Homo-oligomer: A and B are copies of this chain.
Amino acid sequence: MQYHFSEFTEGLKSSAVREILKLTQGKSIISFAGGLPAEEHFPIEAMREAFNRVFDQGKGSLQYGLTEGYTPLREQLCQRMAKKGIKADLPNILLTTGSQQAIDLLVKVYLTRGDVVLVENPTYLSVIQVFQAYGIKAVPVDGDDDGMNMDDLRSKIETHKPKMVYVTPTFSNPGGRVWSAERRKAIVEICQKANLLILEDDPYGELQYNDEEAYPPIMSFDTHPEGSCVVYTSTFSKIAAPALRTGWVIGDSRVIREMTKAKQAADLHSSTLDQQGLYQLLKHFDLDAHISVIRREYHKRMLLLDSLLHQYKVPGMSWNAPKGGMFLWVELPEGVDAEELLKLAVKEGVAFVPGSAFYAGEPKRNTLRMNFTHSNEAEMRLGMERFSRSLEAYLQTV
């Protein structure tokens, strides 16, 4: 039998992060690569209690559900989002298998092969992968520490006639960047005028280390999801637990309706057992207190990685110290190729993600992303020692 795959597979590349994850499984490699939350902080006993409450509800809890997702959880999420300035009603919200599925569904219903999407530079690598598979052209827009450059955005809209802009404005992956309020407001105004859809991906927004500043979602700068140029997605993966793969997406009811139909064709619905479990968790467990604990812990770990980077710094190396999220973005000396460095690093027993994977256009090959939420202090110290050895070895060869 000879298999003849579709044109979809031609653009389909496996994610670099997940391939590295596979390589490191079962080995004694310290990984700064994945985007894994700290397991020690998963609220497992609260989760057990939540699921037992679901089972107490009776056998109906195991039946098929609506494609839209478990209604009481959707209602709860509307209330939660209201605190962030997003006034969604039930027809504006769909539950998904993680926010990754929200991205996939929106691409399906809104973009056609050959369409252009504007993205940050660098941007979330899995979204580049989705666009490639669907034959969508991702065009990077310049940016700085305050977010996307609005002049370049206007100019790229003019030149490329895009159908969508994809952004992660709060503690971005990989950059750890957070957009200023001015830029948030500006992108809504620009896209409203240009009749251009914004996909706001917000998996890390809750992981802000301190409350000194507020970073309201871009969607909150529009009056209501109904008629909004913004579609917003987030997930329980980073604030509760990833294994349940429960995310949500908020948008105009017509957009949500098309996404719901696409979801029905894709998988009928996501696990409603998990959705019911999360509903019970939100009802009987102080998730916000839990999130505060994670925030403090991640802040501590970020500061540790930052200090270790200072300790092992080589000339020409720089990085950011993010205000939230799970990643630190490192620029290595000019001329260093982080993909080559990774090969040496894995031999030393440490992994990270080369920055090149996060560029839709020409990559800066001397960049890399480090996750600091999954390793404990001892692992981070040992991992950075190994990283430093591999970097020195690399620098001696060039």
Residues of chain A at the chain B interface (Cβ within 8 Å): 1-9, 12-15, 18, 22, 34-37, 39-40, 42, 44-45, 47-48, 51-52, 55, 58-67, 96-98, 100-101, 104, 108-112, 115, 126, 129-130, 133, 163, 192, 195, 197, 227-229, 237, 241-246, 252, 254-255, 258, 261-262, 264-274, 276
Contact = CB atoms under 8 A, between A and B. Distances in A.
Nearest to A48: B55
A62 B262 contact: no
A14 B264 contact: yes
A3 B111 contact: no
A59 B36 contact: no
A5 B258 contact: yes
Contacts of A244: 62, 271, 273
A14 B80 CA distance: 29
Copies in the complex: 2
B36 A104 contact: no
10 contacts: A1-B192, A2-B195, A3-B252, A12-B261, A18-B264, A34-B64, A42-B62, A63-B243, A64-B237, A64-B243
Nearest to A262: B12
Contact of A104 (B51, B267, B271): B267
B44 A62 contact: yes
Given A126-B264, A245-B269, 4 more contacts: A8-B109, A8-B112, A96-B267, A243-B272
A251 to B, nearest CB: 9
A96 to B, nearest CB: 8
A7 B112 contact: yes
B273 A63 contact: no
A98 B273 CA distance: 14
Contacts of A58: 44
A94 B381 CA distance: 37
B63 A6 contact: no
A61 B7 CA distance: 36
Contacts of A126: 264-265, 268
